[in-house]
């Protein structure tokens, strides 16, 4: 392990770095992820599960030769190793298989065999484990001299695993909830209405004004897509959304049928991704809206920006991120903010999928500068930002996995902590769940906030 990488781990105030590193030496291949798909609607969607069938894997893996990107990346990698220490999982484990080039080599060996590939050559357990530890953050692609995108390789391999029914338990359960209810947390309309009413009442107490969060209006100009976590957990984020829409006097609504900015189909296969995206398109068309406004979720925005946007355009409906709406409103003087209400030193963390897949880098910084007293940048920002360590469906709260994600998320927290900031800011639902856990595990004196939380604190309504 390179000294610089080891230094990052040893700087953890938890004092657990040596113990963690010693443990990695005894792991033959990384574990803690279980391939158990949900038993109900998801299985009906993907077909009968055929877990751990090397024969089926070989049959479907050969079909990846139809993917030009997969073929190009398999053929063009020179194995120079530049990407290795750019990966948060390699940094946290020292395991070469858990690096972009190492992970790619697991399937490159199979790819090179061509039609001679036999099931006996396939270590399916190892492929499943390592390819479900790639968070699809795409940091490796920024540094690769050949421009190889490991996330694209990962998506192709996961496409095969998903068709086989080999999906991590947490991802499968989340997909199943969306098929049932339209959101990751499995919230039914009654639960959403109750949560929204609670937040509404809190805002009335805090501001003395009736700030509405319209739910299931049959007609509206704007359909707002929050993360379900913003409805149930990140209430300050939801308040930020509502206060901006109230200040701008927007005719808007949230739909209980499409109350999910995230899209876990991104971590399974293309078909599920498109099905979940089309749920939003169908609801927007049904309500006759002019525009869809997307809430804070990294990979959710990447999917919306690169797929849903074009499907909406076919219906004459536009798409904006809430940061784009808010940034323009502040710039035009349409909303007033008091940055003294956020009197601290703040460090903005770029979510991977906003900076490297969603073309959303400048607007969040403009907003943050407008609503807080002081900001500071970390060493690695924008397209070089470190992953939180829980993307790609790795937010699972499983006994054998929690410690792994605590160390995978440490590089991002470490560089934020080094700035001297007391508050780490990120507009991503997974970051909001992951970073407080990582911060607590490593005993760092920091807190975590969403960007729209801070807008909600500073805005004058």
pLDDT at 37: 53
Q: Is the Cβ–Cβ distance between 456 and 243 less than 8 Å?
A: yes
Residue 321 phi, psi (nearest 5) = -85, 150
Domains recognised in the chain with CATH numbers:
3-30+50-164 (1.10.1060), 182-331 (3.40.50), 336-460 (3.40.50)
Query: For residue 42, is pLDDT > 60?
Result: no
Query: For residue 28, is pLDDT > 70?
Result: no
Q: Is the Cβ–Cβ distance between 160 and 170 less than 8 Å?
A: no
Query: For residue 407, is pLDDT > 70?
Result: yes
Q: Report the SS3 class of residue 423.
A: strand
Neighbours of 137 (CB within 10 A): 29
> How much is the pTM?
0.93
pLDDT at 36: 57
The CA distance from 255 to 296, in Å, is: 16
Residues 120-144, mean pLDDT to the nearest whole number: 93
Please give the C-alpha separations between residue 204 and each of 182, 191, 248, 385, in angstroms, as whole numbers. Answer: 29, 20, 18, 38
Residue 33: pLDDT band by 50, 70, 90 thresholds?
low
**Residues with Cβ < 8 Å from 95, sequence gap 6 or more?**
24, 27, 30, 89, 102
pLDDT at 35: 58
Taken in order 293, 298, 302, 304, the sign of the CA dihedral is negative
Q: Report the SS3 class of residue 254.
A: strand
Largest Cα separation within the chain, whole Å, is 72
Residue 277 tokens, joined:
């995206």
Higher pLDDT, residue 437 or 126: 437
Query: For residue 248, is pLDDT > 80?
Result: yes
255-312 pLDDT per residue, tens: 999 999 999 999 999 999 999 999 999 999 999 999 999 999 999 999 999 999 999 9
pLDDT at 399: 67
Closest residue by Cα to residue 380 from 143, 146, 153: 143
Residue 52: pLDDT band by 50, 70, 90 thresholds?
confident
Taken in order 407, 405, 441, 240, the sign of the CA dihedral is positive
Query: For residue 2, is pLDDT > 70?
Result: no
Q: Is the Cβ–Cβ distance between 442 and 413 less than 8 Å?
A: yes
The CA distance from 390 to 174, in Å, is: 14
Average pLDDT, whole number, for the chain? 92
The CA distance from 10 to 235, in Å, is: 35
The CA distance from 455 to 239, in Å, is: 9
320-357 pLDDT per residue, tens: 999 999 999 999 999 999 999 999 999 999 999 999 99
Residue 60 tokens, joined:
């479907």
């Amino acid at each position: 392990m390179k000294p610089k990488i080891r230094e990052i781990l040893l700087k953890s105030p938890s004092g657990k770095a040596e113990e963690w590193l010693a443990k990695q030496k005894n792991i033959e291949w990384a574990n803690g992820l279980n391939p158990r798909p949900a038993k109900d609607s998801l299985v009906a969607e993907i077909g009968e599960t055929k877990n751990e069938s090397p024969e089926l894997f070989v049959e479907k893996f050969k079909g990846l030769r139809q993917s030009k990107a997969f073929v190009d990346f398999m053929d063009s990698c020179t194995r120079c190793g530049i990407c290795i220490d750019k990966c948060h999982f390699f940094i946290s484990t020292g395991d070469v298989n858990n690096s972009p080039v190492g992970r790619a080599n697991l399937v490159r060996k199979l790819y090179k065999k061509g039609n001679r590939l036999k099931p006996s050559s396939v270590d399916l357990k190892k492929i499943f484990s390592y390819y479900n530890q790639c968070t699809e953050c795409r940091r490796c692609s920024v540094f690769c001299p050949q421009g190889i995108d490991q996330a694209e390789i990962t998506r192709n391999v996961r496409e095969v695993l998903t068709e086989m029914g080999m999906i991590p338990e947490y991802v499968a359960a989340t997909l199943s909830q969306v098929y049932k209810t339209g959101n990751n947390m499995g919230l039914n309309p009654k639960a959403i209405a109750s949560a929204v009413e609670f937040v509404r009442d809190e805002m009335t107490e805090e501001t003395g004004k009736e700030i509405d969060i319209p739910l299931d209006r049959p007609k509206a100009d704007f359909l707002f897509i929050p993360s379900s976590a913003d409805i149930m957990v990140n209430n300050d984020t939801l308040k930020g959304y509502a206060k901006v829409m109230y200040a701008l006097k927007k005719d808007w609504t949230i739909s209980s049928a499409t109350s999910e900015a995230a899209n876990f189909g991104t971590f399974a296969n293309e078909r599920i991704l498109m099905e979940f995206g089309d749920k939003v398109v169908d609801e927007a068309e049904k309500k006759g809206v002019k525009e869809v406004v997307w809430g804070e979720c990294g990979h959710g925005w990447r999917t919306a920006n690169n797929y849903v946007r074009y499907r909406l355009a076919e219906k004459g409906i536009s798409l904006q991120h809430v940061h784009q709406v808010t940034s323009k409103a502040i710039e035009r003087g349409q909303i007033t903010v008091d940055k003294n209400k956020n009197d601290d030193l703040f460090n903005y963390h770029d979510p991977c999928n906003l900076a490297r897949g969603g073309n959303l880098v400048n607007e969040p910084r403009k907003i943050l500068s407008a609503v807080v007293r002081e900001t500071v940048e970390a060493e690695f920002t924008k397209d070089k930002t470190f992953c939180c360590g829980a993307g790609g469906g790795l937010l699972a709260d499983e006994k054998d996995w929690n410690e792994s994600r605590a160390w995978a998320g440490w590089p991002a927290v470490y560089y934020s902590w080094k700035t001297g900031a007391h508050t780490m800011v990120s507009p991503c639902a997974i970051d909001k769940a992951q970073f407080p856990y990582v911060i607590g595990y490593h005993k760092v004196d920091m807190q975590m906030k969403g960007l729209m939380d801070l807008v909600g604190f500073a805005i004058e309504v």
